[in-house]
Amino acid sequence: MNAAVFIFVLASTCLTCHSELKARFTEDVHSRKGVACTACHGGVEGPLEMEAAHGKDFRGVPQRSQIPRLCADCHSDPERMRPFNIPIDQYLYYQSSYHGRALARGDTRVAVCTDCHGTHDIRPAQDPRSRVYRENVAETCGRCHAQKELMERYGLSADVVDRYRASVHFQALASGHPRAPHCATCHGKHGAAPPSVREVSEVCGLCHTRSMEMFLQSPHARAFLSRGLPACVACHDN
């Protein structure tokens, strides 16, 4: 950890009281870039008295319904994201996702940013300790999608993570294959949604390019299309 980060962490008066968060927040990607607690929680950095620190614009723990918009305050800002080469359209993708549309209807059980990325210990996606590191994605998605009672509310199966772990895709991922797919490879990240019947072949074809070319030239392709069948999963499952 460089000196600038160390000085920032020690200088944060929020961590004087909230000392239980210091170890986690020290490793957080926001902390390492000098983003203060007040950026998300509001209030005033500096005073040690609670009344003063929890003064101007203090919001405390954001409500779940507010979290995507709060993250977008920075992550949709071109000037703030340019130094890190981070795309600024992820909130728009989230709003188009199943999660985002359900949240807009008032369903706060669906995933918001912090469910996937964490809160005070967010790490870059390339960090093996990150919740969204490629080998950790299935476990992260499974925190919701393996809950039987929760999935029953949406008419979804709760065994999808177990089925994925039994697949050749997961076996390749676990063996270190650099292009092995995880949940977000097929469903998308911030714009996560199940592929429609017409989209399945396009999704599979992103990796299985040669197989897709051969399939499209075969009699099966015409037969499947005429019957409205999904291409690959009709034979291979999902």
- Round to whole Å and give the CA distance between 8 and 31: 8
Tell me the pLDDT tens digit for each residue of 113-160.
999 999 999 999 999 999 999 999 999 999 999 999 999 999 999 999
Tell me the pLDDT tens digit for each residue of 60-87.
999 999 999 999 999 999 999 999 999 9
- Round to whole Å and give the CA distance between 238 and 233: 6
- Round to whole Å and give the CA distance between 85 and 216: 37
pLDDT of 4 strictly over 50: no
Mean pLDDT over 182-191 rounds to 93
**How does residue 197 score in pLDDT terms, banded at 50, 70 and 90?**
low
- Round to whole Å and give the CA distance between 86 and 90: 9
- Round to whole Å and give the CA distance between 165 and 155: 21
pLDDT of 189 strictly over 80: yes
Q: Judging by beta carbons within 10 Å of its beta carbon (0-12, 13-18, 19+), is residue 176 exposed, middle or buried?
A: exposed
Tell me the pLDDT tens digit for each residue of 87-99.
999 999 999 999 9
196: which DSSP letter?
A: P
Instruction: Report the share of the chain in percent with pLDDT over 70.
Output: 95
Instruction: Report the share of the chain in percent with pLDDT over 90.
Output: 65
pLDDT at 5: 45
**How does residue 206 score in pLDDT terms, banded at 50, 70 and 90?**
confident
pLDDT of 203 strictly over 80: yes
pLDDT of 2 strictly over 70: no
Tell me the pLDDT tens digit for each residue of 30-65.
999 989 899 999 998 888 889 898 987 898 999 999
pLDDT at 141: 97
pLDDT of 6 strictly over 60: no
Number of CB atoms found within 10 A of residue 161's CB? 19
Tell me the residue type at 226.
Answer: S
Task: Find where tokens 């599979």 sit.
Answer: 204
CB 190 within 8 A of CB 92: no
pLDDT at 233: 82
